[in-house]
Chains A and B, each alone.
Chain A
């Protein structure tokens, strides 16, 4: 990595760290009313599900325009979800998701990601 990219990494850290530290270091944020605490406990599932959904359903093209994507990745992610929900085993779910995607692509049923 060149010196320039190290500087870029430091700048990226400078805008990332405050978002991570805000909640942990802001006085009083740890003594929220019950409704706020309940809200924050729902943030985890909502953000993680949002990350997963956007990752498999939205593709940004070369023109920077997001578009809806349907593909074998949906099946892989859904199977992973089902396995984790039923067996509580994320590792098994990931292996199943990868196998489904790899086999479908190798067999020609699905294309490689853009």
Chain B
């Protein structure tokens, strides 16, 4: 299942539902709901990977998960362009292979761990997700989207189900984040430099906007700060 489905939250849920005897159509429906957030991930990655041939993008899609998305898009934003090799590294080397090896280890050794909850394993997923989210926050827009998305997700999850809450937060959080003026978002990027604002630029949209760059004094070859 880890190889074919490759979606941790859905796998955990499915195991629980199978054990409780839930009918398959219910499991399939819940899997679709839980994984609906991948729609947003793939749409967000599309502009960065537009130069990759369609067949390879079709294969790339299977390896798209929370972790591979976060690692890949933060890498692209740092570079200011898409990077196919970087995507494969994030998706396969950093996520798919460890996930499947860990699954295998769990199958073989899991029974020897009397109570996994005592090891604090349950806190790893939310801690990793918030850590990856922090890595993507480069300005006020992202910060507002994350806070509002989390708040909406919890409220909707309590009213309906966690899967619907996550999708609602993922759709509405960015919409509220967009209300933050772009100029402020750029100004508050963490490094406080032009490069940090460039992280959020559309791929291949880098333009030299300074029509009259300052001239270095003759004989000076000092690098700009």
- A residues bordering B, Cβ < 8 Å? 1, 5-6, 8-13, 15-17, 19-26, 29-32, 34-35, 37-58, 60, 66-68, 73, 76-77, 80-81, 84-85, 88, 90, 93-94, 97-99, 101-102, 105-106, 112-113
Contact, CB under 8 Å: A47 / B123: no
Majority secondary structure of chain A interface residues (helix, strand, loop or mixed): helix
Once A19-B36, A24-B49 are accepted as A-B contacts, the answer to whether A76 and B158 lie under 8 Å apart by CB is no
Q: Name the interface size band of chain B.
A: 35 or more
**Closest 6 pairs between A and B when the two form their complex, measured CB to CB:** A23-B42, A46-B149, A46-B173, A50-B169, A50-B153, A42-B174
Q: Are A113 and B117 in contact (CB under 8 A)?
A: yes
Once bound together, how far apart are the Cα atoms of A20 and B40, in whole Å? Answer: 9
Indicate which residue in B43, B122, B129, B174 contacts A52 across the interface (CB closer than 8 Å).
Answer: B129
User: Is A19 in contact with B158, judged by CB distance below 8 angstroms?
Assistant: no
Closest chain A residue to B49, Cβ basis? A24
* Interface membership of B46, Cβ < 8 A: yes
Q: A52 contacts which chain B residues (CB < 8 A)?
A: 126-127, 129-130, 133, 150
Is B92 located at the chain interface by the 8 A CB criterion? Answer: no
Chain B 1-36 against A: per-residue CB contact (8 Å), 1 yes, 0 no?
100111101100010001000001001100110011
CB-based contact A13/B169 at 8 Å: no
Is B154 a contact partner of A16 (Cβ separation < 8 A)? Answer: no
Q: State whether A43 touches B170 (Cβ < 8 A).
A: yes
Interfacial residues of chain B within 178-207, with CB under 8 A of chain A in the complex: 178, 182, 200, 202
Is B90 interfacial (CB 8 A cutoff)? no
| Pairwise interchain contact A20-B136, C-beta atoms closer than 8 A | no
| In the complex, B109 has a CB within 8 A of chain A | no
Cβ contacts under 8 Å, A16 to chain B: 5-7, 10, 31-32, 35, 38
Does B146 lie within 8 Å of A49, measured CB to CB?
Answer: yes
Residue B100 at the A interface, CB < 8 A? no
Residues from chain B with a CB closer than 8 A to the CB of A90 are 128, 131-132, 135
Across-interface contacts of B129 in A (CB, < 8 A): 48-49, 51-52, 55
Q: Are A80 and B130 in contact (CB under 8 A)?
A: yes
Q: Say whether B162 contacts A60, CB under 8 Å.
A: yes
Query: Contact at A24–B57, with CB atoms within 8 Å?
Result: yes
Contact between B126 and A73, CB atoms less than 8 A apart: yes
**Smallest distance from the beta carbon of B6 to chain A beta carbons, Å?**
8
